[in-house]
């Protein structure tokens, strides 16, 4: 199974929140080689923003968290290509979602992935356009 997890799911690997246990189970299945995870490079910046907003995260914590993320060996896809960005824009407009969210949706469509999100509104908006599951 090939998955793409949006930033709010991966953030749960580093910040204890509702459904952290489910997010960690997905990570553990990836580590065991039972599934594949691909992510757009956008994830790095969205995750950085989550860390920046979290009052308990120090720069040292953030560095360690990113090191742990990169050490997992997740494939990061470069989305900085005009044709990909144009498709993301089209997806955002047609589904009425943010460009950020449309990035994950577009990658899911192009890579044949299931999108895992903790955002119920996003799940509702993209259902029927891409395979999506709510965490």
Spans in the chain with pLDDT lower than 50: none
SS3 56: coil
- Residue 47 confidence (pLDDT): 97
- Residue 41 confidence (pLDDT): 96
E-state strands within the chain: 2-5, 36-40, 75-77, 114-117, 132-134
d(CA 84, CA 59): 32
- Residue 62 confidence (pLDDT): 98
Q: Which two three-digit tokens encode residue 83?
A: 């044709």
Residue pLDDT, tens place only, 104-119 = 999 999 999 999 999 9
CA nearest neighbour of 62 among 11, 4, 122, 133: 11
CATH top-level class for 2-134? alpha beta
CA nearest neighbour of 19 among 34, 30, 6: 6
d(CA 24, CA 124): 23
List 127's β-bridge partners, or say none. 130
- 28 phi/psi in degrees, rounded to 5: -65, -40
* Helix (H), strand (E) counts: the chain: 7, 5
- Residue 97 confidence (pLDDT): 98
Instruction: Let me know: does 117 contact 8? Beta carbons within 8 Å.
Output: yes
- What pTM does this model have? 0.95
- Residue 64 confidence (pLDDT): 98
SS3 60: helix
- Residue 13 confidence (pLDDT): 98
- Residue 19 confidence (pLDDT): 97
- Residue 9 confidence (pLDDT): 98
């Amino acid at each position: 199974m090939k998955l793409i997890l949006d930033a709010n799911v991966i953030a749960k690997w580093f910040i204890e929140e509702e459904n952290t246990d489910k997010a960690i189970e997905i990570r553990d299945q990836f580590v065991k080689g039972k599934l594949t995870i691909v992510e757009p490079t956008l994830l790095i910046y969205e995750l950085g923003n989550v860390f920046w907003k979290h009052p308990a995260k120090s720069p040292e914590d953030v560095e360690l968290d990113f090191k742990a993320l990169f050490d997992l060996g997740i494939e990061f896809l470069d989305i900085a290509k005009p044709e990909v960005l144009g498709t993301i824009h089209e997806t955002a407009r047609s589904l009425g979602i943010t460009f950020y969210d449309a990035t994950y949706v577009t990658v899911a469509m192009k890579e044949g992935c299931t999108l895992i999100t903790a955002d119920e509104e996003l799940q509702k908006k993209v259902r029927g356009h891409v395979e999506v599951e709510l965490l």
